[in-house]
C-alpha cells in the first residue's frame, strides 16, 4: 500500500512539475498572460545562465527523486504493490517531456539530462528491478513475445527511440528560435531605419512646404492627374526683402573661386534669415515662400482664421502683420551683425503689403509652394521702388500698422507698374516695444 502511494506521489509530482516548468517556460515568451512578478523573475533568471541551469536541473531532479526512491524500495517479484511497471515508463516519459519544454536550455543540455534519466531508468530496470519486470512479463505478456523481447529491454529501447526523436525536436526548435530571434532583431532594426527615414522625409517635406500644407501631402498617394493643391486667403501679409548692392559684390574672379565664395556668403545670410523662423515670436505666423537671388520672400497669416470673424478686433485680426514687420526688423538686425563680422555694408530694401491672395503647390514630383495675387505684385513693387535700409508700405497697410504703435513718414506718390501712382510710406523709428510672448 505504501509503495502504491509512493508511485502515485511520483506520478502526481511528475505531472505537477511538468505543468510548472511549462508555465515558467511560457512566462518568458507570453509575458502578457502571466503575473508581472513571475515574468520579472523568469527574465531575471535568463540573465544568469548558471543560475538558470541550476534551478531548472533541480526541478527535474525533484521530480525524478520520488520515482527513484519508489523503485529502489521495490525489488521482489512477489511484491505486487510494485506493479504495473508501465507506470515507471510513464513517469520517465513525463520527465523527458518536462526537459523538452525547457526553452531556456540549449538542446545539448537537454540531451545530457535526458540521457542521464534514461540511463538511471535502464539500470534500475535491468539490474535492480529485473525480477519485477520478469514477473510482469509472466503475468501480462504472451510467451512468444516475452521470450523474444522482454519488457525490461523493450522499455529501454523505446526510451532510446524517444530520446532520438526529442533530440531532433529540440534541435529543430532551438534552430528555429534562433532564426526567429535573428529575424526579429533584423526586423526591429529595419523598422527603426524605416522610422528614421520617414522622420527625415517628413522633416524634408516640412522644410520644402509650409507645415499646414505638408500635413495635407504626408501619408497620401497622389497621381499625375490629381487636382493641384490650392487655397485662398482674404487677409495675408507679404514681404519682399532684397540686397540691391549684392549684385555689385558678386564677382566671378579667381579670388572668389568663380563666384563660389560669394554664393557661400549669400547662403550664410539666407541661413541666418531662416533661423528667425524658429524664433518663438514668429513660429506659426511667418512662412518663408522662396528666395529669388538675393531677395527673400515671406508671408504672414496663411493659417490665420480670425480674418473671417467679424467679432474679432482689428488688432487681433491683423496681429500677424505686426509680426511680419517685426520679422523684417529682425532681418535687418541679422544683416547688420553679418556686416560687422565680414566688414561689408549690405543694406536691406524691404517692401510690405497686405490683402487677399491665392496660394498653392505647383508640381507633383518636385512640389513648390507659392502665392499669387494683386497684393503680392504690389508688395514686390514696394520693395523695388523703395530705398536701401528702409521698409516701404502702402497707405492701407500703414493705417493698419498704426494700430500697433508704428510711426511712418510719407514718401509721397510713387509710380507703380500696372497700378499708376500710389501713396506710400516709410517706417521710421522709434519702433514700439514687442508684446510679451504667449507661452507655448
User: Taking residues 234-240, what's their average pLDDT?
Assistant: 93
Q: Is the pLDDT of residue 348 over 90?
A: yes
pLDDT tens for 42-82 read 777 767 767 666 666 666 666 676 667 666 767 665 555 56
pLDDT tens for 310-334 read 777 888 888 999 999 999 999 999 9
Least confident of 143-152, 162-171, 245-254: 143-152
End-to-end CA distance of the chain: 82
Whether 417 is a known active-site residue: answer yes
The whole-number pLDDT of residue 236 equals 93
The whole-number pLDDT of residue 190 equals 92
Mean pLDDT of the chain: 80
Task: Please tell me the number of Cα atoms within 13 Å of 422 on its side-chain side.
Answer: 21
Q: Active-site residue among 30, 257, 315, 417? A: 417
Residue 227 class from Cβ within 10 Å (0-12 exposed, 13-18 middle, 19+ buried)?
exposed
When comparing pLDDT for 20 and 108, which is higher?
108
User: Taking residues 344-354, what's their average pLDDT?
Assistant: 91
Cα angle vertex 368, ends 302, 236, to 5°? 20
Whether 152 is a known active-site residue: answer no
Q: Which long-range contacts (CB under 8 A, 24 or more apart) does 370-378 make?
A: 370/289, 370/290, 371/236, 371/238, 371/289, 371/299, 375/236, 375/238, 376/238, 377/418, 378/353, 378/416, 378/419, 378/422
pLDDT tens for 182-207 read 998 999 999 999 989 888 888 888 88
Q: Active-site residue among 71, 110, 319, 381? A: 381
pLDDT tens for 355-403 read 999 998 887 777 889 999 999 999 999 999 999 999 999 999 999 999 8
User: Taking residues 332-358, what's their average pLDDT?
Assistant: 90
Amino acid at each position: 500500500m505504501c509503495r502504491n502511494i509512493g508511485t502515485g506521489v511520483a506520478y502526481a509530482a511528475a505531472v505537477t512539475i511538468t505543468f510548472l516548468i511549462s508555465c515558467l517556460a511560457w512566462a518568458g515568451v507570453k509575458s502578457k498572460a502571466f503575473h508581472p512578478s513571475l515574468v520579472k523573475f523568469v527574465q531575471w533568471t535568463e540573465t544568469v545562465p548558471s543560475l538558470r541551469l541550476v534551478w531548472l536541473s533541480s526541478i527535474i531532479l525533484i521530480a525524478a527523486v520520488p520515482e527513484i526512491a519508489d523503485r529502489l524500495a521495490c525489488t521482489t517479484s512477489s511484491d505486487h504493490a510494485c506493479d504495473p511497471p508501465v507506470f515507471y515508463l510513464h513517469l520517465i516519459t513525463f520527465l523527458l517531456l518536462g526537459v523538452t519544454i525547457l526553452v531556456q536550455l540549449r538542446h545539448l543540455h537537454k540531451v545530457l539530462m535526458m540521457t542521464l534519466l534514461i540511463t538511471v531508468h535502464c539500470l534500475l530496470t535491468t539490474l535492480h528491478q529485473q525480477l519485477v519486470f520478469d514477473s510482469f512479463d509472466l503475468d501480462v505478456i504472451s510467451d512468444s513475445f516475452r521470450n523474444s523481447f522482454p519488457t525490461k529491454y523493450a522499455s529501454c529501447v523505446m526510451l532510446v527511440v524517444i530520446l532520438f526523436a526529442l533530440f531532433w525536436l529540440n534541435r529543430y526548435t532551438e534552430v528555429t528560435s534562433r532564426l526567429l530571434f535573428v529575424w526579429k532583431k533584423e526586423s526591429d532594426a529595419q523598422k527603426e531605419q524605416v522610422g528614421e527615414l520617414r522622420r527625415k522625409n517628413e522633416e524634408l517635406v516640412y522644410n520644402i512646404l509650409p507645415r499646414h500644407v505638408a500635413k495635407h501631402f504626408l501619408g497620401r498617394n497622389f497621381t499625375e492627374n490629381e487636382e493641384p493643391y490650392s487655397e485662398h486667403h482674404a487677409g495675408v501679409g507679404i514681404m519682399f526683402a532684397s540686397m540691391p548692392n549684392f549684385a555689385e559684390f558678386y564677382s566671378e574672379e579667381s579670388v572668389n573661386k568663380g563666384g563660389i565664395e560669394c554664393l557661400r556668403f549669400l547662403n550664410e545670410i539666407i541661413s541666418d534669415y531662416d533661423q528667425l523662423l524658429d524664433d518663438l515670436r514668429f513660429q506659426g505666423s511667418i512662412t518663408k515662400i522662396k528666395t529669388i537671388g538675393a531677395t527673400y520672400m515671406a508671408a504672414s497669416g496663411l493659417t490665420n482664421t480670425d480674418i473671417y470673424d467679424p467679432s474679432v478686433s482689428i488688432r487681433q485680426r491683423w496681429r500677424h502683420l505686426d509680426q511680419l514687420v517685426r520679422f523684417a526688423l529682425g532681418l535687418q538686425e541679422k544683416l547688420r551683425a553679418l556686416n560687422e563680422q565680414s566688414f561689408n555694408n549690405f543694406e536691406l530694401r524691404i517692401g510690405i503689403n497686405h490683402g487677399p491672395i491665392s496660394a498653392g503647390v505647383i508640381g507633383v514630383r518636385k512640389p513648390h509652394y507659392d502665392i499669387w495675387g494683386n497684393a503680392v505684385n504690389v508688395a514686390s513693387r514696394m520693395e523695388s521702388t523703395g530705398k536701401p535700409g528702409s521698409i516701404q508700405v502702402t497707405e492701407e497697410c500703414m493705417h493698419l500698422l498704426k494700430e500697433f504703435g508704428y510711426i511712418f513718414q510719407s514718401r509721397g506718390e510713387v509710380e507703380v507698374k500696372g497700378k499708376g501712382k500710389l501713396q506710400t510710406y516709410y517706417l521710421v523709428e522709434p519702433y514700439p516695444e514687442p508684446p510679451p510672448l504667449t507661452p507655448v
